[in-house]
Structure 1
Amino acid sequence: MKTSLAPMLSVRRGSTAVDFYQSAFGADVLFRIDDDSGAVVAKLSIQGAEFWVADESPEHANFSPESLNGSTARVVLVVDDPDAMFQLAVEAGAAIVWPVQEQHGWRVGRVSDPYGHHWEIGRPQ
């Protein structure tokens, strides 16, 4: 087995978050568990880049950015066409933090998803 690293994003409203990531980034659902309370844990993939989404669970010290009033990390999504992916995310409901532009040898922009996570979408020049 190959070593891998995949972030797990804690969110409120996990089911709608999965829907958002599918619309915003074309994410595929690789694995999903829905419990009786409506909480979700899901493994998603954006063009082969995997990440997890789970409803926050304060009892396990997993808090969403909404609970923390900010996030402790950003997600960097490297794609061939950052302008198109950025636009797709905005059309799905992401808020523009700063638009796609040339910056430090990258074409990159940043959005905030409806759950408080910031995504830098870009590619090196």
Structure 2
Amino acid sequence: MASIQPELWVDGAATAVEFYAAAFGARVLHRVGDGEDVVAQLDVGGAVFWVVQADAGRRRLSPPAAGGTTGRVLLVVDDPEAVHARAVAAGATATSAVAPEHGWLVGRIVDPFGHEWEIGRPG
């Protein structure tokens, strides 16, 4: 068995956990820490990722501190339109509406912490 569980470095990790719960319906699997300085493992329908407080001293830069982002997360869901709309309602910025592209139905957002997401499904 293999899996990839990305770790997102954010300014305000506890606030980010709340955003991902509201935007994507994320469930907290594991959480440690106090205040905004938390480490949390989240699950969105079997897609697992981590949210961690950014720390420049440990070279863990949030997108704003890095001056941009170095990648994008693709969240594969059954209903991209609904999840895209929910994320925008929770505070994300839509960068493209959900539409057919390269054999996928996909839309893009930037979350309030600067991370880019594609929300889509094949077909």
CA distance in 2, matches of 1:38, 1:89: 21
Long gaps (5+) in structure 1: none
Q: Name 1:34's counterpart in structure 2.
A: 33
Q: Name 2:5's counterpart in structure 1.
A: 6
Aligned CA-pair RMSD:
1.0
CA distance in 1, matches of 2:53, 2:26: 18
Long gaps (5+) in structure 2: none
- CA, structure 1 residues 107+38, in 2 after alignment: closer, same or farther (shift >3 Å)? closer
Q: Name 1:57's counterpart in structure 2.
A: 55
Q: Name 1:46's counterpart in structure 2.
A: 44
Which AA in structure 1 matches 2:38?
V
Q: Name 2:68's counterpart in structure 1.
A: 70
CA distance in 2, matches of 1:69, 1:59: 17
Which of 90, 100, 110 is matched with 1:102 structurally?
A: 100
Q: Name 1:24's counterpart in structure 2.
A: 23
If the length of structure 2 is used for normalisation, what is the TM-score?
Answer: 0.96
**1:44 Cα deviation from its structure 2 partner:** 0.2
Identical-pair percentage? 50
Q: Name 2:87's counterpart in structure 1.
A: 89
Could you list the runs of 4 or more consecutive aligned residues of structure 1 that deviate by over 2 angstroms after TM superposition? none
**1:60 Cα deviation from its structure 2 partner:** 1.3
- CA, structure 1 residues 38+112, in 2 after alignment: closer, same or farther (shift >3 Å)? closer
